[in-house]
Amino acid sequence: MNDGLMNERLTGSHRVFDRVSEEYDAARPHYPEALYLALEELSGIRLDGAAVIDVGAGTGISTRGLLDRGARVVAVDRGERMLARLRARTTCPVILANGDDLPFRAGVADLVTYAQSWHWLDPALSVAEAVRVTRAGGAVAGWWNSVDPGKADWLAANQVRLAESCPGYIGPVLPGWSMPPLAAAMSGGGLDGAGAGLDVAETWVTWTRSVPLEDFLTDLRTHSYMASMDGDVVADLIARERAELGRVFPGGRLTVPMRVYLAVGRRG
């Protein structure tokens, strides 16, 4: 990606998601219990009572998951409409801020988290900021939900259709696709040798999502590759997917194989 496209991606992502904040809040999947258990195991931090800064919190899906497990969470995001949705449903401190320049003093957090968000930030600046605000013995963690098309032919076909129809598609059916390189950015080897020197561990958590067809279609609208497209084009794509998926699931409820990638970097 050239520097101009990178700068556009980093500065414009919050505007894209603000346009679909209601749909995002309504239809994006939660994270499974096993993800939070893995987070505690890899970080060595018990969530109950932990001070957490949730960067790129969006409408609060991860924020609420952390709060439900007893964490003391401050939610940070650049999207005003996304944070408005979070405030409407969630009781915690909320800050409109850039994850590359966190408005916190050094060492205030036990844990800094990025749920589905780190790839929208500057790879080096964001991790450096996360390390700065994390106490000694704390951790930095990021995770991403993804559909798992290798487990279902219908889902593989769905993703191929999206890849063919959406110029900005990013996902698991693309050759060479991989999760964002957060582990490399946190490790001593890092991106261009500029890693943060954390002790890094990675894992995958598999789970199954049961979701109404219309919610699945609404979820599709919230992905950046579709949210940035012309509305009439999106409407046609959604109508096509409604027909295709309706034939596979005539009862109107989908069983979707999912997996979550988790990377955790522990401070010494």
The 3-state secondary structure of the chain reads CCHHHHHHHHHHHHHHHHCCHHHHHHHCCCCCHHHHHHHHHHHCCCCCCCEEEEECCCCCHHHHHHHHCCCEEEEEECCHHHHHHHHHHCCCCEEECCCCCCCCCCCCEEEEEEECCHHHCCHHHHHHHHHHHEEEEEEEEEEEEEECHHHCHHHHHHHHHHHHHCCCCCCCCCCCCCCCCHHHHHCCCCHHHCCCCCEEEEEEEEEEEEEEHHHHHHHHHCCHHHHCCCHHHHHHHHHHHHHHHHHHCCCCEEEEEEEEEEEEEECC
163 in a structural domain: no
Query: Is residue 253 in some structural domain?
Result: no
What domain range includes position 190?
3-146+177-208+259-266
The mean pLDDT value for 158-175 works out to: 95
Tell me the C-alpha to C-alpha distance, in Å, between residue 51 and each of 109, 121, 235: 5, 22, 42
Render pLDDT for 104-114 as a digit per residue (tens, 0 to 9): 999 999 999 99
Half-sphere exposure in the Cβ direction for 114 (13 Å, CA):
31
Evaluate whether residue 240 is within a structural domain. Answer: no
Digit-coded pLDDT (tens) for 222-232: 998 988 889 89
Mean pLDDT of the chain: 91
Q: How far apart are CA 47 and CA 22, in angstroms?
A: 28
Q: Domains in the chain: how many in total?
A: 1
In a domain, 239, yes or no: no
Nearest of 239, 222, 226 to residue 166 by alpha carbon = 226
Is 151 within the bounds of a domain? no
Q: What is the pLDDT of residue 227?
A: 87
Asked whether the predicted pLDDT for residue 268 surpasses 90, the reply is no
pLDDT (0 to 100) of residue 20:
80
Closest CA to 216 of 238, 196, 187: 238
The residues that bridge with 257 in the sheet, in sequence order, are 208
pLDDT of 255 above 90: yes
The answer on pLDDT for 267 being more than 90 is yes
Give the per-residue pLDDT at 205.
98
First CA to last CA distance, the chain? 34
Check the CA dihedral 58-128-93-71 and report its sign. positive
Average pLDDT in the 19-40 region?
92
Q: Mean pLDDT throughout 116-124?
A: 94
**Is the predicted pLDDT of residue 191 greater than 60, yes or no?**
no
Q: What's the rounded Cα separation, in Å, for the pair 226 and 251?
A: 26
238-259: average pLDDT: 98
Q: How many CB atoms lie within 10 A of CB 161?
A: 16
How much of the chain exceeds pLDDT 70, in percent? 91
Which value, to the nearest 10 degrees, does the dihedral of the CA atoms of residues 178, 116, 105, 110 take?
A: -90
Q: Name the band, by pLDDT with cuts 50, 70 and 90, for residue 3.
A: very low
Query: Picking from 17-31, 78-92, 168-182, which range would have the lowest pLDDT averaged per residue?
Result: 17-31
Cα(152)–Cα(154) distance, rounded to whole angstroms? 6
Considering the domain boundaries, does residue 248 fall inside one? Answer: no
In this predicted model, what pLDDT tens digit does every residue of 46-90 receive, in sequence order?
Answer: 999 999 999 999 999 999 999 999 999 999 999 999 999 999 999
Q: Is the pLDDT score of 99 beyond 90?
A: yes
In 10 A of CB 82, how many CB atoms?
Answer: 25
Map tokens 């993804």 to a residue: 146
Instruction: Say which CATH number the domain at 77 has.
Output: 3.40.50.150
Residue 250's pLDDT band, with cuts at 50, 70 and 90, is: very high
Residue 232 counted as domain residue: no
Residue 2 in this model has a pLDDT that exceeds 90: no
| Percent share of the chain, pLDDT over 90 | 82
pLDDT of residue 7 exceeding 70: no
Please indicate whether residue 12 or residue 236 has the higher confidence score (pLDDT): 236
153 domain-assigned:
no
Closest by CA to 218, choosing from 70, 21, 3, 2, is 21
